[in-house]
Every structure is written in C-alpha cells, then in structure tokens.
Amino acid sequence: MQIAVVIEGQMNLSYADQLAAARRAEAVGLSGFYRTDHYESFPGPSDQATTDAWSILAGIARETRSIPLGTLVSPVTFRAPGAFAKIVATIQEMAGRQIHAGLGTGWHESEHRRYGFPFPAMATRAEMLEEQLQIVRGLWSGPDGWSFSGSHYQVSDALFRPKPVPLPWVITGGEGSPRGMRIAARFSDEFNLTSSAPSTAREKFAQLDAACDAAGRAPGSLVRSAMTGALIGRSEVEYQEKLRAFMSRIGAVGDPESYLAPRRARWLVGTPDQALAQMRAFQDAGANRLLVQHMDPTETSSIDLLAELQAQL
C-alpha cells in the first residue's frame, strides 16, 4: 500500500512552508503530495493567513521533479469548470508529469460567504459536481467542437488547447454516500474515503464494488484510498509532545485524549508500531493508498516517519 501526505494548506502556512513539505515528501519516496483547497483558516482561529491551492501547486510543480501533486479536494463552487480544466492542464504542463485533480461539492459555508462564492443546497452542489466532471473530461479529451448542455453549465463548440497528455488523474470521494459512489464509478480514477475507520472502509469499498458493477465498470479499475489524520511519535513521549503541540496549534483546550477519542479509530495515532497496525488494517480493508493528513507541516520528521512505515507495508 502506498502512502501520500496531505497538508492543511489553510493553517497559516507560507509558500515556503508548503514547498519544504513537498520536497521532503518527494525526497523520502512518498506516493503523492496533496493540499486542501480552502480560503478560510481552520481548525483553530479563522483569521490566520491562507493561500490559493492551485497557485501554490503551480510553484511547487516547478520546484519538484517527480512526486504527484494535487488537491483534496477543490470545491466546485470555487471555479467554473472550464477554468478548472485549464488550470489543471496548465500546471500539468509546468510540472511535466500527471497532476491529480480532486473535485468535491464543498462544505465550509462561512468561507463561501466571506469570499462571495455561491453555496447552494447539497443536492444542487452534487448536480454541479457531476456536470463539472463531465465538462473537464470532455474538454481534456473530447473532439474539437465538443459541447455540453446541463442544468448548471453549458459548453458550446469547445476548442481546448493543448490537450493534456496523459489525462489528469481525477479523484472524488467523501464518506461513501450512494450518490458519491455512483459519481466515482462513472467519472473518477480514484475514490477517496474520508472519516472512516478500517471496519467501515471495508463495508464502503464493498458498496463501491457494487456501484462499479452497476455502472458497467470493472471494480479493480477504480483506485480506492482512505484519508486519515496522523499524530505519530517515535516514542510515547514524543507522541504526547506532538499531541500537545497540535492542540496548542489549533487552540483546543481540555484533555488531549478526549479530543482524540472520536478520531482514534480512524487516525494513525501513537507510536510507530501502533500506527503500522492501523495502516495494515486499512490495507486489509481494501485501501490501495492512504492519504495521510500531516498536522504540522512546519516540521518534516513526521514525513520521514511515514516513509519508513510505508517501507514496512
């Protein structure tokens, strides 16, 4: 099973912070570097500095050599589908390698309000996601003159240049709703399961197989990954130090273990042996990759540790 790192790019991180994390992930052989796509800072204070995800990735694309880069995930409410398709294709040309394009419905209402983005009802955003996925794939690979007419977007007589080769890698996901699985079976290269323990992941991946069968797609052709937080120390003492530092970073109060209690079943927590056991549980549940949230990207020792654990899988 492969391990990739995900940073919460909205948590007061400079470009230099994010580049350092990406370079370290590449140097130690992790399978990808992703960042979230948010304009408002969280968890913790909402007034910290944030950056634009795709602008950051454009810079990183020129300052790294081989590691796959992408977002997990870009809300459909932030960008028109034609603009998104062009941004991804441009950064792929800059990178000289395949870019991973994560698309989702968006969920953080306050950042939409504060930046003037529309935030329609969930059912509408799901419709927008399906249409955007059809459009970006049509623009990337459709013939000249390709057109699309939907409820939310229309494309007429498309002429998209240059066509990205290879096609960007498309990731969708979520907590495994029936609609989300149907969307993944139709449009995605990878389905990323969020907020799930290994036991839940096993059930959800079985449902994903059924969704692929219903769509006439071979289940094995859809990569499945799980997103998990990580707070790992080389010793119990170091783990406790990292936990306290994380709590301080997000402004959380109270008992750290109480904070972790609802997350422990789905995060990589504790010493390397404990984290490795959880990784193997996800692997046994059917995950091809783990996309691991690095909770303090200003330090790189945790990235080194993830690579060491990847080598043991």
Q: How would residue 270 be classed by pLDDT, with cut points 50, 70 and 90?
A: very high
Q: How would residue 25 be classed by pLDDT, with cut points 50, 70 and 90?
A: very high
- The predicted-structure confidence for 61-71, as pLDDT tens digits, reads as follows 999 999 999 99
pLDDT exceeds cutoff 90 at 157? yes
Whole-number pLDDT of residue 210:
98
Whole-number pLDDT of residue 13:
94
* Residue 117 bridge partners (DSSP): none
Whole-number pLDDT of residue 212:
98
Map out the domains of the chain with their CATH numbers.
2-310 (3.20.20.30)
Q: What is the DSSP string of 126-147?
A: HHHHHHHHHHHHHHHHSPTT--
Closest by alpha carbon to 6, among 78, 67, 55, 47? Answer: 67
Q: How would residue 305 be classed by pLDDT, with cut points 50, 70 and 90?
A: very high
Tell me the C-alpha distance between 37 and 104, whole Å: 10
**pTM higher than 0.75 for the full model?**
yes
Q: Are strands 74-75 and 69-71 parallel, antiparallel or unpaired?
A: unpaired
Whole-number pLDDT of residue 189:
98
Is the CA virtual torsion 85, 86, 89, 92 positive or negative? negative
* Residue 292 bridge partners (DSSP): 5, 228
Whole-number pLDDT of residue 267:
96
The position carrying tokens 């990323």 is 192
- The predicted-structure confidence for 100-156, as pLDDT tens digits, reads as follows 999 999 999 999 999 999 999 999 999 999 999 999 999 999 999 999 999 999 999
Under DSSP, is residue 99 helix (H, G, I), strand (E, B) or coil? strand
